[in-house]
Amino acid sequence: MRSSRIFTPGAVFALTAALSLSAHAADLTVTAFGGSWEKAYRTCFVQPFEKATGKSVDVVLGNPLQWVNQVAANPSKPPIDVIVSTPEAAYKAISLNLLDPVTAADVPNVAQLDPRLVAYGKGYGFPITFGDFGLMYNTKTVKNPPKTWKEFVDGTVAGKWQAALPGIAYVATPPGLITLFTKVYGGSSTNIQPALDQIKRMSASGNATFYSDPNTPLMSMRSGDVDIAMYYDGRAWAEHDANNPDIGFISPSPGSVAFPNMAQKVKNGSPLGRQFLNELASADGQSCFVNAMQYAASNRNVKYDPRVAPRIATKDKSIWVEFEQISEHSPQWIEQWNKQIGH
């Protein structure tokens, strides 16, 4: 009968799905970004942890704000035990009181980390790695890359190169572009007009385009549409190694904004979370990870490969911004940007 064609396969699928997907939960659930990041994370942290403890670890892929919302919706029985995320999401989680404090007393390897980076976690976690948001450029078309940010802006306006900047829809723009330019050109978190004026100059020159996802600058570099782009160092070097040997990277003076990955333990999550945080803070784990991803480590005892060492950011040369303060002002900044620039 035709009606049975509707019901029979549907019932079978619904039942099969419910049964097959009610999988046994692991001992610990942690988060990770996808692709090569996840692969390095599993190899360098998850597998050694599982081997050392005999416990199983589930890795959730997705986005930091997704994870923070999932924990916020289930604070007494969180679906995640350890969050590794971006600074904005990390401070959001702190403000919502979703985390347990992290100290060297319960995570011994924290003592090996750079104390200035540990302080960045406000007592509720620590950066595992960080990278600079500097300038990725084509070494063939940009023979003399700009040594300062003002040189970059003036060079773009003068038409020395075609530049790519992050647009307001991109997550790195408030800290990595607007805050950076207020430090270079003057201004503050309540007065970003000096920064916007320079961005407007670049936009009006016709030599700057704006991107809203991290892959667009890579594609534009490959096609030759763009000669120089504001971008992350680790990703730029990964592109250099995999696809485009013409790529170079520079952090113009007075430095580039540092973007750390923050590791935090969720309140009411598994106590194993502290042991996993210890793995994330370990010199061996971080050495493996930073050499794969080409970012700088927070552990002071990390060993960098000779190929990676000259490429990574250094704490003293990077610009460290207050992400929580930026998050407070971002809505006004977005409104000002939309009114004056529009991209």
Partner 1 sequence: MIALLRRAGVARMPLSLYNLLFFTFLVAPIIVVVAASFTAGNAITVPYHGVSLRWYRRLIEYRPFIDSLMTSVYLALSSAFVAILLAVPAAIALGRSRSAVAAALTTFLLAPVAIPALVIGFSLLYFLSSLGIGVSFVALLIAHTVISVPYVMRTVLAVYRNVGINFEEAAAVLGANRWQRFYFVTLPLISPGVFAGALFAVLISLDNLPVSYFFGTANVTTLPVVMLSYLQNQLDPAIASISTVQMLIAIGLLLVVERTYGLRALNA
- Which residues make up the interface to partner 1 (CB under 8 A)? 2-3, 5-6, 9-11, 13-14, 16-18, 20-23, 25-26, 29, 33-39, 58-63, 66, 69-70, 72-74, 77, 79, 213-215, 218-219, 222, 242-244
Name the nearest CA neighbour of 285 among 123, 128, 131, 56. Answer: 128
Q: How many CB atoms lie within 10 A of CB 136?
A: 27
Q: How many CB atoms lie within 10 A of CB 245?
A: 10
Nearer to partner 1, 22 or 144 (CB): 22
Least distance from C-beta 37 to partner 1, angstroms?
Answer: 5
- Alpha carbon distance 293, 303 (integer Å): 14
Nearer to partner 1, 5 or 51 (CB): 5
Q: Residues 181, 187, 189, CA angle at the centre, nearest 5°?
A: 90
Longest CA–CA span in the chain (Å) reads 76
Nearer to partner 1, 98 or 192 (CB): 98
- Which three-class secondary structure state does DSSP give residue 129? strand
Least distance from C-beta 67 to partner 1, angstroms?
Answer: 9
Instruction: Write the CA distances from 83 to 128, 152, 329, integer angstroms.
Output: 12, 36, 25
Least distance from C-beta 133 to partner 1, angstroms?
Answer: 15
Beta bridge partners of 165: 210
Least distance from C-beta 171 to partner 1, angstroms?
Answer: 10
- Alpha carbon distance 263, 280 (integer Å): 8
Least distance from C-beta 84 to partner 1, angstroms?
Answer: 13
Nearer to partner 1, 53 or 66 (CB): 66
Least distance from C-beta 46 to partner 1, angstroms?
Answer: 11
Nearer to partner 1, 28 or 319 (CB): 28
Residue whose structure tokens are 């502290």: 274
Token couple for 154: 């003036």
Nearer to partner 1, 159 or 245 (CB): 245
Nearer to partner 1, 222 or 315 (CB): 222
Question: DSSP letter at 25?
Answer: P
Q: Residues 219, 225, 226, CA angle at the centre, nearest 5°?
A: 85
- Alpha carbon distance 9, 141 (integer Å): 60
Least distance from C-beta 262 to partner 1, angstroms?
Answer: 16
